[in-house]
Structure 1
Amino acid sequence: MSDSIDKSLSLGRLFGIWFLLGLQSFGGGGAMLTLIRRTVIERYGWLTEEEFTRDWALCQVCPGINLTAFTILIGRRIAGGAGAVVCLVGLMLPSVACTILLTVWYAALRDSLLMQAALKAIVPASVGLGLLSAYEVARPAVRESAREGNRWLLLALFLLLGSGSVLLWLKLPVVSVLATAGGLSAFCHSRRAV
């Protein structure tokens, strides 16, 4: 996919696609990432799996809300600056409206037993969606490393499992883990060129 504007896609249609994504964005970031992936790779082919993974990794390095940055990046790649704005507004509009309405509704029903039971079921389902997203984002990176050879596959698996382990047990800042992993990978790849 190039950075040029896709002439066959109107901004209205692009807004509609992202508005529908926004309407379906239940379950947090992991669930939303899965929806975005299916839309931009499988349904419309705007990005390859490798581009998606690379762009998502780039957004992880930036501070702030990663899905917002990712939406802007994808929108810009699809339809330039106007595409970035349209995708962001389309994605955020349903969430903002629902948040306002749900806040009012929850305040009235928060002590209900049915409300408490429903909330208990949402957490495990959200975790499951997050695990699916992690798998779908990791798969192309691991596959590409395997194509480069066993040494690069082992490096990718080490970085994947090592980064998660360091964050889980040592509680280091995410940016330091990302910088270290990126530096280690850059060092290893620079040694290959020598």
Structure 2
Amino acid sequence: MSEQVNSDAPAPQATVTELFLRFGMIGIMGFGGVGPWVRWLLVERTGWYTEEEFVNTFALANFIPGGNVIALATIAGVRLRGWPGALAAILGLCLPPAILVCAAGSLYLRYSETEIAQRILGAMAAAGAGLIVAMAIKLLKPMRGSVRGLGMTAAVFSAAFLLQLPLTTILLVLGPVSLALALVMRS
């Protein structure tokens, strides 16, 4: 992540309506894992974020309490259109899926014991896992040349997967370590 972001460059423009509609599309398409869709929207589809800006914003969103994708939508909305943009992004991300979840929940209560429902849920779980793995790979790409970034990724993976430490412990220990390494390596 050696690329320097030009903070003086104007952010690409988006309307409040566009934020609502695009995040609404993500909310509908991204059941079970919208993170990869948000990355696709912000970086690949619209160019509203560079890869490095997205990785940094995604990291920040993971440290903020609450849902990380909602935090990411809020940050993106504020950056692109201020507080009205944040509200539009959050509503777009949450409202359409909330309506669909209510409908799906009603169907699930009625048909959950059927074999076809069980097969559908199994397939959805596999698709969600695949999306998470794909996003992890995309997030690692900008860190190819960063020993610190890859080292912190390995440390977090080891703490979460191998040691099975709680997320709070990982954040409280490795968050300050990551910040200290960033400060030392800049000097």
TM-score computed with the length of structure 2 as normaliser: 0.86
Structure 1 residues 76 and 109: CA distance shift in structure 2, 3 A? same
Matched, 1:184 2:186: no
Name the counterpart of 1:37. Answer: 39
Where structure 2 has 5 or more consecutive residues not aligned to the other structure, the ranges are 1-5
Amino acid at match of 2:160: L
Alpha-carbon offset, residue 159 of structure 1: 1.4
TM superposition outliers: structure 1 runs of 4+ over 4 Å: 1-8
Q: 1: distance between equivalents of 2:22 and 2:185?
A: 43
Name the counterpart of 1:22. Answer: 27
CA contact (8 A) 1:22 1:95 kept: yes
**Worse overlay, 11-20 or 39-48:** 11-20
Name the counterpart of 1:129. Answer: 131
Name the counterpart of 1:169. Answer: 162
Q: 1: distance between equivalents of 2:66 and 2:186?
A: 35
**Worse overlay, 131-140 or 179-188:** 179-188
Amino acid at match of 1:42: E
Q: 1: distance between equivalents of 2:8 and 2:109?
A: 45
Query: Quick one: which of 84, 87, 103 aligns to 2:86?
Result: 84
Greater helix proportion: 1
Name the counterpart of 2:63. Answer: 61
Where structure 1 has 5 or more consecutive residues not aligned to the other structure, the ranges are 147-152
Identity within the alignment, %: 28
TM-score computed with the length of structure 1 as normaliser: 0.83
How many equivalent pairs are there? 182
Structure 1 residues 84 and 190: CA distance shift in structure 2, 3 A? closer
Q: 1: distance between equivalents of 2:75 and 2:23?
A: 13
Q: Following superposition of structure 1 onto structure 2, how do residues 132-147 of structure 1 map, counting pairs within 5 Å?
A: 132-140=134-142, 142-143=143-144, 146=145
CA contact (8 A) 1:3 1:77 kept: no
